[in-house]
């Protein structure tokens, strides 16, 4: 890819988020004055290479999508939602950014850097990730007995955005239903095909909002940035 690559952005927000205790789609919970989903959309709208944004939401909440995006009904699993969003896109961009609406602190600079890293590395996918700082124990499947301690210098906690070459992602999403159901991120589907996935070190601030405490922390950080309303 030469120059600035055009990119299609897919934002996944079809999850119900039971652990947050909201009683509705997590992507639509209010965060610092706007629905959580909107923070990611606004950040992506500031990235010059992004020419379309498609959001996946529950089928009964498509009317809640922010202005300027295409809304589609998500699936029962994360990768099914990504597949639906990719299929609905009008853009023919060969780079695809996939982002979780539950990570509302991602910045325009992070999205742009992830896209540029795809071109720089020549990889099939770029994954935002944080180096694991804790000691990680692997335990037996039937109990809590420690089997071994993993080398944390080799471990990274995967996040989003994840950026893919479109043809690679399209093939990966054609995996059998049992693999689509098991996938916790789309990069794993690329990995199993033998694709090259490279991590992009990011700040721990790009965390996933899962609990009420996460929501409070995200609001505090947005306030410190001076962007909360």
pLDDT at 227: 60
Cα–Cα distances (Å) from 91 to 51, 66, 83, 169, in that order, read 7, 18, 15, 15
In whole angstroms, give the CA distance from residue 135 to residue 78.
Answer: 28
pLDDT of residue 16: 76
Residue 184 lies in a domain: yes
Task: Read off the CATH number of the domain in which 164 is found.
Answer: 3.90.550.10
Q: Give the C-alpha separation, 45 to 165, whole Å.
A: 20
Write the secondary structure of 171-223 as one string of H (helix), E (strand) and C (coil).
Answer: HHCCCCHHHHHHCCCHHHHHHHCCCCEEEEECCCCCCCCCCHHHHHHHHHHHH
pTM score of the predicted model: 0.94
Into how many domains does the chain fold? Answer: 1
Separation of alpha carbons 222 and 183, rounded Å:
30
Q: pLDDT under 70 in the chain at which residues?
A: 1-3, 17-18, 227-229
- Contact status, residue 154 vs residue 44, Cβ threshold 8 Å: no
pLDDT of residue 225: 85
- Tokens representing 117 are 């890293």
Q: Which residue has the tokens 């990719």?
A: 86
Tell me if 211 is assigned to some domain. yes
CA–CA gap between residue 112 and residue 106 (Å, rounded): 11
Is residue 143 assigned to a domain?
A: yes
The answer as to whether 2 is a domain residue is: no
Residue 119 in tokens: 């071109």
Euclidean distance between CA atoms 146 and 140, whole angstroms: 6
Alpha helices per DSSP H over 54-197:
78-88, 108-121, 166-172, 177-182, 186-192
Query: Has residue 87 been placed in a domain?
Result: yes
Whether 157 and 130 have beta carbons less than 8 Å apart is answered as yes
Q: How far is CA 129 from the centre of its chain?
A: 11
Report if residue 166 sits inside a domain: yes
Q: What local confidence, expressed as pLDDT, does residue 62 receive?
A: 96
Vertex 219: Cα angle to 215 and 224 (nearest 5): 150
Q: What is the pLDDT of residue 3?
A: 59
**Which residues in 4-14 are b (16+ Cβ under 10 Å) and which e?**
ebbbbbbbbbb
- Confidence at residue 228, expressed as pLDDT on a 0 to 100 scale: 47
Domain extent for 41: 7-225
């Amino acid at each position: 890819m030469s120059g600035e690559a055009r990119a299609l952005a897919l934002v996944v927000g079809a999850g119900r988020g039971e652990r947050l205790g909201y009683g509705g789609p997590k992507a639509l919970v209010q965060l610092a004055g706007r629905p959580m989903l909107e923070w990611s959309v606004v950040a992506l709208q500031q990235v010059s290479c992004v020419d379309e944004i498609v959001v996946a939401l529950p089928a009964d909440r498509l009317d809640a999508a922010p202005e300027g995006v295409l809304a589609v009904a998500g699936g029962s699993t994360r990768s099914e939602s990504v597949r639906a969003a990719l299929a609905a896109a009008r853009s023919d961009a060969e780079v695809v950014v996939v982002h979780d609406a539950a990570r509302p602190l991602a910045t325009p600079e992070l999205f742009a850097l992830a896209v540029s890293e795809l071109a720089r590395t020549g990889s099939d996918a770029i994954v935002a990730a944080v180096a694991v700082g804790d000691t990680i124990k692997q335990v037996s499947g039937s109990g809590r007995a420690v089997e071994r301690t993993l080398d944390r210098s080799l471990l990274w906690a995967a996040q989003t955005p994840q950026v893919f070459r479109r043809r690679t992602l399209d093939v990966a999403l054609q995996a059998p239903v049992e693999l689509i159901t098991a996938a916790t991120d789309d990069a794993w589907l690329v990995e199993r095909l033998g694709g090259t996935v490279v991590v992009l070190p990011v700040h721990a601030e790009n965390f996933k909002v899962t609990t009420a405490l996460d929501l409070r922390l995200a609001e505090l950080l947005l306030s410190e940035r001076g962007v909360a309303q």
